[in-house]
Amino acid sequence: MDVVRGMKVVGIAVAMALGGITASAQERLELFDAHLHYNQEPNPFYSLDKVLETFRRNGVTGILATSRPNKGTHELVDAKAPGLWVVPFIRPYRTRADIGTWFDDPAIYELIEAEYKRGYYRGIGEFHIYGNSAAGPLVKKIVNFAVERDLYLHAHCDEAALLHLFAHNPRAKIIWAHTGFSTTPARVRELLDTYPALWGELSYRGGITDGAGKLSDDWRSLFLRYSDRFLLGSDTWINERWFGYDTIFQNYRAWLAQLPIEQARRIANGNAQRLFGPRPSN
Ligand SMILES: [Zn+2]
């Protein structure tokens, strides 16, 4: 055994002794992007080919696809790109202005009903909702629509709105976009304890690492308990996020590599497979 190989074996032995082999010792993880917008108002920033190449370059083999309007999602589904699993969600917006009014607009309910008829949707979202805006009758109707059809909700919301959504129908399945941005890890943990059908999507989520990229103790222990409840996302809501796409996923890979491999695999793509699978072969 040569010296380098010997050191490697010792390194792996140390990692295992410290609580399992870490993701850094493994090959490149496949990633699922659970917050992808392919917006087109009226034209997309990247052509479909360029978007697909961006996924390939980053090892992204699955996406939770949404767009404003829903045309971008139709294109991603229709592309049937080899090696890419598209999980489409209905976006309840026609234009950006709908973000502030959708929850009170009967035309949006009709939009959701009409889109659903395409037959391939797995959820509704991402939608934005705050505080008591979530308490209204139209939101309740949409939550019930989702529960009756076994659809997930992808909610960009504060905690007050999250509680309203679950109060409308305790059987709701909610992916919390950005995991509350800055809600304390202790509170996130309590919410995960209370609501077994709540998952946290981590785009823009603060506090996971320190300034040097080291995983924080709070998040390490949250992942230790709940690595089955988190998803990664790019949130390509503006063009800058497409420029930064590689960096976003390099940053994810950097902290995933600090976790035990089983936890890293769940967050990288295993949870998406459990939620939306089985993955079709294409
Ligand atoms: Zn968002």
pLDDT at 43: 84
Cross-strand bridge partners of residue 156: 128
pLDDT at 20: 60
Question: Residue 126 C-alpha to ligand 1 middle, in angstroms?
Answer: 7
pLDDT at 226: 98
pLDDT at 282: 75
The sheet that has 230-231: what strands, in order across it? Answer: 31-37, 60-66, 85-90, 123-129, 152-157, 174-176, 198-201, 230-231
Which one-letter amino acid corresponds to residue 246?
D
Mean pLDDT across the stretch 56-75?
Answer: 96
216: pLDDT strictly greater than 80 = yes
Question: Residue 89 C-alpha to ligand 1 middle, in angstroms?
Answer: 14
Q: What pLDDT digit, counting tens, does each position of 235-250 carry?
A: 999 888 999 999 999 9
Question: Residue 105 C-alpha to ligand 1 middle, in angstroms?
Answer: 20
167: pLDDT strictly greater than 90 = yes
The percentage of residues in the chain with a pLDDT greater than 70, rounded to a whole number, is 91
pLDDT at 12: 46
Question: Residue 35 C-alpha to ligand 1 middle, in angstroms?
Answer: 8
**Residues whose Cβ atom is located within 5 A of ion ligand 1:** 156, 177
273: pLDDT strictly greater than 60 = yes
Mean pLDDT across the stretch 174-180?
Answer: 98
Find tokens 């959708």 and name the residue.
102
Question: Residue 20 C-alpha to ligand 1 middle, in angstroms?
Answer: 34
241 against 282, higher pLDDT: 241
Q: What pLDDT digit, counting tens, does each position of 125-136 carry?
A: 999 999 999 999
- Confidence band of 85 (pLDDT split at 50, 70, 90): very high
Question: Residue 175 C-alpha to ligand 1 middle, in angstroms?
Answer: 11
Mean pLDDT across the stretch 52-74?
Answer: 97
**Alpha-carbon distance 55 to 189, whole Å?**
31
**Alpha-carbon distance 257 to 252, whole Å?**
9
pLDDT at 73: 97
**Alpha-carbon distance 36 to 39, whole Å?**
9
Please give the DSSP secondary-structure letter assigned to residue 59: T
180: left (phi over 0), alpha (psi -120 to 50) or beta: left
The percentage of residues in the chain with a pLDDT greater than 90, rounded to a whole number, is 84
pLDDT at 61: 97
pLDDT at 86: 98
Question: Residue 218 C-alpha to ligand 1 middle, in angstroms?
Answer: 23
Question: Residue 13 C-alpha to ligand 1 middle, in angstroms?
Answer: 41
Which one-letter amino acid corresponds to residue 147?
V
Question: Residue 234 C-alpha to ligand 1 middle, in angstroms?
Answer: 10
4: left (phi over 0), alpha (psi -120 to 50) or beta: alpha
51: pLDDT strictly greater than 50 = yes
pLDDT at 45: 86
Q: What pLDDT digit, counting tens, does each position of 1-40 carry?
A: 444 444 444 444 444 444 567 766 556 899 999 999 999 8
- Confidence band of 281 (pLDDT split at 50, 70, 90): confident
Question: Residue 266 C-alpha to ligand 1 middle, in angstroms?
Answer: 22
CA atoms within 13 A on the CB side of 216: 13
pLDDT at 4: 43
